[in-house]
Structure 1
Amino acid sequence: MTMARPTQGLVIPPGAGRTVSTAAQQVTFKVTGAHSRVASTFEVVVPPGFDVGAHTHTRGEELFYVIEGELDVMAFEPRVRTCDGWRDWESATGERPVRATPGTLILVPPGCPHAFANLTGSPVRMLFQSAPPPAHERYFEELLELLNSPGGPAPEAVGELRSRYDIQQLTPLRHAPAAAARAVDG
């Protein structure tokens, strides 16, 4: 079944879009597969203490743009993939994870290991695109449902979810309470 595409443009004012959230994390769907055959676009609030974990996608391409706040990020193949953390990784050319500030853009082609973590005491806002749509739309809905689970998500449930959505997890997703993140940030 082929979906009809609109012939009109799309203008989404501030605050508009469908939002799914936890107590601290929020994803607002701005452009979905119903609007574009190229990419889904989201505004994401990354809470203090959240580490998406290093991962790859075999088919998907992603773009991140930091709007407000700071994230530790990486997007390269490390010399050695360690399984418990990515912040000490280094590429064969000497690249290391960096602190992304407002205006930083990260482009991630298929197969490239990448990660981000909010080690500050404040939420971070970023624009996120994923191509092709609509896989990340369904993934975000299911992930935030897991993050809303009492006691947090079971690692096995996160692993199963990610494997269904072309996400090969290299280091664990971590979702620390805000107080713990503030302690890490100092």
Structure 2
Amino acid sequence: MDAKATAAESFVREPAAGSTLNVLGITHIYKATGAETAGSFSLWGSVVPPGAATPLHTHAREDEAFYVLSGELVIEFEGDSAPHRIAPGGFFFGARGRRHAVRNVADKPARVLVFCAPSCGLDQMFAELDAATAAGMPEMAKVVAIAAKYGVTIEAPAA
């Protein structure tokens, strides 16, 4: 394989720049996509409103890491018996193959920097979820089906 054909180019993204997606009520502002990093990683900032949460889910293809910039998140993850409150400056590493969920239980938005490596399709999954959210919050069955296409298993809440 020709290394030059797959090498990423260096770039700068200004503070207000980057594509913005609404993923089930959580705003993602991309700073680097897998397409821009030749699949090495993706990086985005998230604004998590009060009460917003991700469902309990597992990534089969990538690791995910969260660095809290402001606000506070509660993280639940497989292998630990109790949820953890993550304050500004706190960090969570979500290993692939291990269930985790993130929620904002505070009364103000949380700002988080999220890193995933390698970049194996979450960018595309979030774009599909953004499109599905445009007409209102999609049914959980649709969310589960979209996620499954990208190696993410969502544990849907009981009906």
Contact 1:51 1:116 in 2 (8 A): yes
Taking a change above 3 Å as real, the CA distance of residues 23 and 75 of structure 1, as seen in their structure-2 partners, is: closer
Percent of counterpart pairs with the same letter? 31
Q: Which amino acid aligns with 1:28?
A: I
Q: Which amino acid aligns with 1:74?
A: E
Distance 1:110 1:76 in 2: 11
The offset of 1:4, in angstroms, is 4.0
1:70 aligns to 2:79 (yes or no): no
**Normalized against structure 1, the TM-score is what?**
0.73
Match of 1:123 in 2: 109
Contact 1:22 1:148 in 2 (8 A): no
1:13 aligns to 2:11 (yes or no): no
Q: Which amino acid aligns with 2:151?
A: D
Distance 1:127 1:136 in 2: 15
The offset of 1:126, in angstroms, is 0.6
RMSD over aligned CA atoms reads 2.3
1:136 aligns to 2:122 (yes or no): yes
Q: Which has the higher contact order (CA 8 A, sep 6+)?
A: 1
Q: Which amino acid aligns with 1:68?
A: S
Distance 2:76 2:32 in 1: 25
Contact 2:59 2:98 in 1 (8 A): yes
Taking a change above 3 Å as real, the CA distance of residues 132 and 171 of structure 1, as seen in their structure-2 partners, is: same
Structure 1, unmatched stretches of 5+, are 78-90, 173-186
Contact 2:8 2:36 in 1 (8 A): yes
Q: Which amino acid aligns with 1:54?
A: L
Runs of 4+ aligned residues of structure 1 deviating over 3 Å after TM superposition are 1-4, 21-25
Q: Which amino acid aligns with 2:88?
A: P
**Normalized against structure 2, the TM-score is what?**
0.85
Match of 2:43 in 1: 41
Distance 1:157 1:23 in 2: 12
The offset of 1:134, in angstroms, is 4.6
Contact 1:21 1:144 in 2 (8 A): yes
- Structure with higher Rg: it is 1
